[in-house]
């Protein structure tokens, strides 16, 4: 292949073949056994530890770190997984810099938190490498629960229900289970097919049937699911993508960032995945960062993220932003797209600078243009295909307490449910808590 970084248009194979392997390897390498002991030694075993409070799944972090330190990584893994069954994925993808590690007292003391995420990975990897599934099912209850969506929320819910002896059927519209673990998370955060390996490991609990290629709304209705099961959990994520709303945003070369990422995650050979020479990503969240960085790693010559507000307002953490800039991505703040130019195919994007005025964000009137062969929209996902009859709140399924929707017998959690940050770990927490509530209802213990 003769393409290079400067080849115009959207083409594959911009880099020498060996570069892909290197670029998409583990962004944060795993800890070795000795490193893990050294890292775990730094934990103070704080009382009522702030890191536990900062973790949406409330993992007993000081305990698991002490278990690593005392030579019991498998025990550490059990401590983690009993709270967060996707502790392995979360160890890789959680923005720890805004969660547990931000709360670490050593972050306050020295600006160097205990490496909680990497230690969590060390523990869970050790257990999974041994092929051990440390939980067993309770006696069968004869109750059947349908879970819609095999993402983190659905999987966490299904596992907890199965553990309590219920039979679970998960249906997912996509050909593979895993949700955004499989189709969304940046490749270099969970390389080596980790999402499917973790899924297989999770299903070792038994009692869970996964039906892929089966969509709620298309293949089955909520009424039918509710009629056939004792409870339904909706963990369908956010399948829709927001539009730019600028003239020309339907030109060739303009795409949803999540679709590009899904293609990238499913590509058997990254050298065959086309990417633009000049890529423009519009948005300020994790999706924008991931689309931008991975475009760069695929060989784009220039990649620019344009965000309409100030840098401090970006939902991507400072750490994520630095990761992007370190990879050669340019971040332009306070600018919004006003037009996409080009003759059928995008050639340039025109932006207007913004400022915060009396009535909120407003244009300054000053514009500029960025050359672009490829434009990624990363200005947020939205709930698509929510079953009718459920109350919504802010465009998501309204829930009270542990994921109860407005319809009795139907729970929801994860990105599709209102409240909580859209993070893997939050989805796990919500799925797990809904499962406990469903379990209480099914066994007559709930008030």
Partner 1 sequence: MANLATNFVGIKSPNPFWLASAPPTDKAYNVVRAFKAGWGGVVWKTLGIDPPIVNVNGPRYGAVWGADRRLLGLNNIELITDRPLDVNLAEIKQVKRDWPDRAMVVSLMVPCDEDSWKYILKRVEETEADGVELNFGCPHGMSERGMGSAVGQVPEYIEMVARWCKAHTRMPVIVKLTPNITDIRYPARAAHKGGADAVSLINTVSSITSVNLDTFSPEPSIDGKGSHGGYCGPAVKPIALNMVAEIARDAETRGLPISGIGGVTTWRDAAEFIALGAGTVQVCTAAMTYGFKIVQEMITGLSDWMDKQGHADIDAFRGRAVPNVTDWQYLNLDFVTKARIDQDACIKCGRCYAACEDTSHQAIAMKPGRVFEVIDAECVACNLCVNVCPVDNCITMERLPAGAVDPRTGRTVTGTYANWTTHPNNPSAKAAE
Ligand X SMILES: Cc1cc2nc3c(=O)[nH]c(=O)nc-3n(C[C@H](O)[C@H](O)[C@H](O)COP(=O)(O)OP(=O)(O)OC[C@H]3O[C@@H](n4cnc5c(N)ncnc54)[C@H](O)[C@@H]3O)c2cc1C
Q: Which residues bind ligand X (CB under 6 A)?
A: 93-95, 148-154, 171-174, 179-180, 184-185, 189, 215-217, 235-237, 239, 258, 261, 286-287, 290, 385, 414-416, 422-425, 427
By CB under 8 A, residue 189 contacts partner 1? no
The answer for residues whose C-beta is within 8 angstroms of residue 395's C-beta and 6 or more apart is 382, 383
Question: Measured from the CB of residue 25, what is the shortest distance to partner 1 in angstroms?
Answer: 22
By CB under 8 A, residue 66 contacts partner 1? yes
> Could you say which of ligand X, partner 1, none residue 153 binds, taking C-beta under 5 to 8 angstroms by partner kind?
ligand X
Question: Residue 336 or 377: which CB sits closer to ligand X?
Answer: 377
Question: Residue 198 or 415: which CB sits closer to ligand X?
Answer: 415
Question: Residue 137 or 341: which CB sits closer to partner 1?
Answer: 137
User: Which of the ranges 74-82, 273-281, 283-291, 353-361 carries the binding residues for partner 1, by CB under 8 A?
Assistant: 74-82
Question: Measured from the CB of residue 421, what is the shortest distance to ligand X in angstroms?
Answer: 8
Q: Quote the DSSP letter at residue 444.
A: T
Question: Measured from the CB of residue 205, what is the shortest distance to partner 1 in angstroms?
Answer: 18
Calculate the CA 144 to chain-centre distance.
28
Question: Residue 69 or 181: which CB sits closer to partner 1?
Answer: 69
> Could you say which of partner 1, ligand X, none residue 7 binds, taking C-beta under 5 to 8 angstroms by partner kind?
none
Sign of the four-CA dihedral 95, 170, 162, 419: positive
Euclidean distance between CA atoms 270 and 72, whole angstroms: 38
By CB under 8 A, residue 133 contacts partner 1? no
Report whether 23 contacts 282 (CB < 8 A): no
> Could you say which of partner 1, ligand X, none residue 75 binds, taking C-beta under 5 to 8 angstroms by partner kind?
partner 1
Pairing of strands 208-212, 254-256: unpaired
By CB under 8 A, residue 45 contacts partner 1? yes
Question: Residue 75 or 403: which CB sits closer to partner 1?
Answer: 75
Report whether 121 contacts 91 (CB < 8 A): yes
Question: Measured from the CB of residue 425, what is the shortest distance to partner 1 in angstroms?
Answer: 23
By CB under 8 A, residue 337 contacts partner 1? no
By CB under 8 A, residue 74 contacts partner 1? yes
Question: Measured from the CB of residue 237, what is the shortest distance to ligand X in angstroms?
Answer: 2
Strands (E), 173-230: 208-212
Question: Measured from the CB of residue 211, what is the shortest distance to ligand X in angstroms?
Answer: 9
> Could you say which of partner 1, ligand X, none residue 70 binds, taking C-beta under 5 to 8 angstroms by partner kind?
partner 1
Question: Residue 77 or 94: which CB sits closer to partner 1?
Answer: 77
Euclidean distance between CA atoms 261 and 187, whole angstroms: 9
Euclidean distance between CA atoms 241 and 18, whole angstroms: 34
By CB under 8 A, residue 63 contacts partner 1? yes
By CB under 8 A, residue 67 contacts partner 1? yes
The contact pattern for partner 1, residues 243-272, with x = CB under 8 A and - = no contact, is ------------------------------
Residues 14-33 that bind partner 1 (CB under 8 A): 33
> Could you say which of partner 1, ligand X, none residue 149 binds, taking C-beta under 5 to 8 angstroms by partner kind?
ligand X
Strands (E), 278-433: 278-282, 302-306, 329-332, 335-341, 348-357, 360-371, 374-377, 381-382, 392-393, 396-397, 410-412
Question: Measured from the CB of residue 431, what is the shortest distance to ligand X in angstroms?
Answer: 7
Alpha-carbon distances of 296 from 21, 78, 233, 345, 352, rounded to whole Å: 14, 38, 38, 21, 25
Specify which residues 231 forms β-bridges with: 145
Question: Measured from the CB of residue 334, what is the shortest distance to ligand X in angstroms?
Answer: 23
Burial class (CB in 10 A: 0-12, 13-18, 19+), 24: middle
Euclidean distance between CA atoms 415 and 222, whole angstroms: 19
By CB under 8 A, residue 224 contacts partner 1? no
By CB under 8 A, residue 347 contacts partner 1? no
Taking residue 87's Cβ as centre, other Cβ atoms within 10 Å add up to 29
Among 13, 56, 75, 283, binds partner 1 (CB under 8 A): 75
Report whether 201 contacts 133 (CB < 8 A): yes
By CB under 8 A, residue 368 contacts partner 1? no
**E strand or H helix at 430:** helix 424-442
Q: Quote the DSSP letter at residue 12.
A: S
Euclidean distance between CA atoms 351 and 345, whole angstroms: 18
Nearest alpha carbon to residue 320 among 88, 62, 6, 95: 95
By CB under 8 A, residue 47 contacts partner 1? yes
List interacting residues with partner 1 (CB under 8 A): 33-34, 37, 41-42, 45, 47, 62-63, 66-67, 69-72, 74-75, 78-79
């Amino acid at each position: 292949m003769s393409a290079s970084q400067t080849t115009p248009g959207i083409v594959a194979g911009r880099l020498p073949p060996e570069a892909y392997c290197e670029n998409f390897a583990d962004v944060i390498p795993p800890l070795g056994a000795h490193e893990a002991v050294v890292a775990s030694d730094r934990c103070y075993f704080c009382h009522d530890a702030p890191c536990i409070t900062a973790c949406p799944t409330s993992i007993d972090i000081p305990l698991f770190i002490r278990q690593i330190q005392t030579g019991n990584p498998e025990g550490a893994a059990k401590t983690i997984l009993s709270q967060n069954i996707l502790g392995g994925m979360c160890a890789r993808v959680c923005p720890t810099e805004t969660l547990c590690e931000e709360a670490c007292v050593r972050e306050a003391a020295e600006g160097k938190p205990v490496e909680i995420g990497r230690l969590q990975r060390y523990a869970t990897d050790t257990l999974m490498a041994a092929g051990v599934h440390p939980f067993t099912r309770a006696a069968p209850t004869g109750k059947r629960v349908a879970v819609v969506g095999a993402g983190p929320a659905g999987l966490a819910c299904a596992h907890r229900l199965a553990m309590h002896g219920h039979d679970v059927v998960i249906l997912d519209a996509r050909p593979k289970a895993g949700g955004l673990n499989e189709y969304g998370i940046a490749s270099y955060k969970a390389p080596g097919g980790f999402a499917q390996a973790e899924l297989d490991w999770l299903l070792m609990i038994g009692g869970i049937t996964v039906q892929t290629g089966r969509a709620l709304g298309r293949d089955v209705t909520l009424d039918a699911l509710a009629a056939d099961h004792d409870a339904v959990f909706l963990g369908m994520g956010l399948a829709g993508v927001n539009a730019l709303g600028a003239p020309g945003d339907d030109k060739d070369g303009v795409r949803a960032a999540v679709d590009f990422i899904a293609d990238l995650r499913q590509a058997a050979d990254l050298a065959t995945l086309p990417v633009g020479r000049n890529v423009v990503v519009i948005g300020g969240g994790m999706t924008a960062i991931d689309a931008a960085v991975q475009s760069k790693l695929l060989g784009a010559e220039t990649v620019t993220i344009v965000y309409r507000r100030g840098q401090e307002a970006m939902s991507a953490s400072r750490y994520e932003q630095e990761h992007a800039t370190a990879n050669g991505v340019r971040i332009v703040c306070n600018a919004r797209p006003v037009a996409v130019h080009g003759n059928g195919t995008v050639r340039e994007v025109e932006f207007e600078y913004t400022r915060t005025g009396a009535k909120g964000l407003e244009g300054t009137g000053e514009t500029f243009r960025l050359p672009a062969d490829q434009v990624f929209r990363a200005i947020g996902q939205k709930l698509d295909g929510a079953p009718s009859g459920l109350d919504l709140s802010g465009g998501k399924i309204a829930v009270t307490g542990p994921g109860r929707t407005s319809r009795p017998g139907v729970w929801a959690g994860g990105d599709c449910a209102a409240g909580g940050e859209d993070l893997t770990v939050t989805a796990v927490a919500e799925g797990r808590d809904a499962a406990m509530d469903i379990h209480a209802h099914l066994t007559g213990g709930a008030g």
